Structure 1
Amino acid sequence: MDHSGMGNMAPDKRYTHMTFFWGETSDILFRGWPGTRGGMYSLALVVVFLFAVLVEWFNFCRVVRPRWGHTAAGLARTAMYAVRAGLAYLVMLAVMSFNVGVLIAAILGHALGFSLFGSSGFQTRKLSAEGTKGDLPPMACAC
């Protein structure tokens, strides 16, 4: 038995990057995904991009209707808040892979999402008096 207590098992020699790098070989969100195949890496970039777009959609969407009851509206907002937070954390964790392609996909996804849902260029309705355009409050940094 070796000193690691793992018997004859070979130690895991995977390397986690701690600086930004370019390359298709990376672990993004899950161990072994996307692996070494370029197609899977492209899929991973698309997923990160779409998650970032969805985060922006949740920031500005109007789903809750005035005719809904107070409890139903509160539950809907809570569910939306939880999904938005989960997606934002997934984007953050993907960027923490330190892969420059993932960083660019996340930035472009947030930019497109804001352009479509948050900027006045694509909006036909006026800003609300409260200063928020969606059902949820703006995301805030706990810094």
Structure 2
Amino acid sequence: MAGGDDHMMHGEMMPSTTTASSMGNGMNHEEMMTTHMTFFWGKNAEILFSGWPGNSTGMYVFALILIFVVSVLVEWLSHSRFIKSGTNNFVAGLLQTLMHTVRMVLAYMVMLALMSFNVGVFLVAIAGHALGFLLFASRVFRPQLPMPSYQRPSDLPPMKC
């Protein structure tokens, strides 16, 4: 409990509140930053980067749209087939590794955004994954044709939590 940054109440950690000037960035003592440890609703959140989106409603909406799009992209990459059959194994392996890396970067970005504990971020991430799955993996838009057993439904294996 150094400097009074962490607070205990009934044996549980409470949100940390630190004055910005004690963090050495030259802001006034009155300006406070709160780290939420429970879900909260509101546009005043920090998502991914310090001070972003700030207090601007427009930037908050932009952040939500960005998280939604990234969630859809994760599903698209998870269920896509870019590597043609007959591609050299070395080249196919490099492409598969690159696609996996991009998918994981995007998935971790969504996860880190969710760690803001903002309900709006949570809802758009779930909606993005749901829409992405609906468009790219569900039976709604894919005809059910007989598929040889050796054929994979996508280039990447399923994500595991």
Q: Which 5+ residue runs of structure 2 have no aligned equivalent?
A: 4-19, 24-31
Name 1:20's counterpart in structure 2.
39
In 2: Cα distance, 1:96 partner to 1:41 partner? 15
In 2: Cα distance, 1:16 partner to 1:90 partner? 18
Per-residue CA shift, 1:64-83, capped at 9, x if unaligned? 00132111110000000000
Higher-Rg member (1/2): 2
Between the aligned residues of both structures, percent identity stands at: 49
Code of the aligned partner of 2:133:
F
In 2: Cα distance, 1:109 partner to 1:131 partner? 27
Q: Superposition pairs for residues 49-128 of structure 1, below 5 Å?
A: 49-124=68-143, 126=145
TM-score, with structure 1 as normaliser: 0.87
TM-score, with structure 2 as normaliser: 0.78
Name 2:17's counterpart in structure 1.
none
Q: Which structure carries more strand by proportion?
A: 2
Runs of 4+ in 1 over 3 A off after TM superposition: 124-128
Q: Which 5+ residue runs of structure 1 have no aligned equivalent?
A: 4-8
Deviation, 1:129, is 2.5
Deviation, 1:133, is 1.4
Code of the aligned partner of 1:135:
D
Bigger RCO (CA 8 Å, 6+ sep) = 1
Matched residue SS, 2:21: coil
Q: Give the root-mean-square deviation of aligned CA atoms.
A: 1.8
In 2: Cα distance, 1:130 partner to 1:106 partner? 33
Code of the aligned partner of 1:136:
L
